[in-house]
Amino acid sequence: MTSEIHFDGRVAVITGAGGGLGKTYALELARRGAHVVVNDLGGAADGSGKGSSMADQTVDEIRKAGGQAVASYDSVATPAGGEAIVRTALDRFGRVDIVINNAGILRDKSFAKLEPADLEIVLDVHLKGAFYVSQPAFRAMKDQSYGRFLFTASAAGIFGNFGQTNYGAAKMGLVGLSNVLAVEGAKNNIKSNVIAPIAKTRLTENLLGPMASNLEPTTVTPLACYLVSEACELSHEVFFVGLTPGWFAGKGKAVSLEDVRDHLGQIMDEKSYIVPKSIGDEMRVIAKDLMG
């Protein structure tokens, strides 16, 4: 295929879009014609504080490149915040077609030392936050018989990772949430999928070590943006890294949404899959590809 994937006329809400993965999604969707609500509370990695500069910077970049975007500083962690984020899209652009639930924080502690407050705030941002944003968006999508959701899970939930009981539990909850939206949204052309990415962000940079330099957020962008495109008919899926041979463009090579679309058969091929028992098993597969 040679046709380019466009998002003309589509409106995307992206949480945590002030930096990291979310920012790359916002820039790419806007470059391809989407109108984007850039949501970011502007707080620290542990969820403390707030500010407008992160969302504003992403919006400024989009506008300078000729795109359309508006900032939202509302917290995803309350019903009112979720409603306000979606209302921003409806009031400014008239509809909402895409929701990428990307906002997240970390409060890592070993299970024996974890305080209730550290559990509650992580669940509030990751799991409840995705619920609070997605529910009003889902209602709007049903009315227009079109919608695309993308949720961000993590290998920390699927395999477990020391010190991340709160984070892992929240991330696995998102898989269940997405699966139900895929079922309930099917008759209204609403698709919902999950990615469990491995990328260098402010939440993961210290965990990835030497591998971080090879795992820039832009390596995740093509798949994530393809999954929220009109061209994507997949739903009820969870995408991991390193479980099957999949498709690898080659170290350092740029990948587009069209590359993802055109190699979807290889990406979805379940032959020669591995059954990893830890995050380390995934990372070893990735390292092998990156080393040639």
**Cα dihedral across residues 17, 23, 28, 33: positive or negative:** positive
Active-site pick, 25, 132, 146, 167: 167
73 an active-site residue? Answer: no
- Alpha carbon distances (Å) from 68 to 7, 26, 51, 59, 188: 12, 10, 21, 8, 27
Which residues form the catalytic set? 167
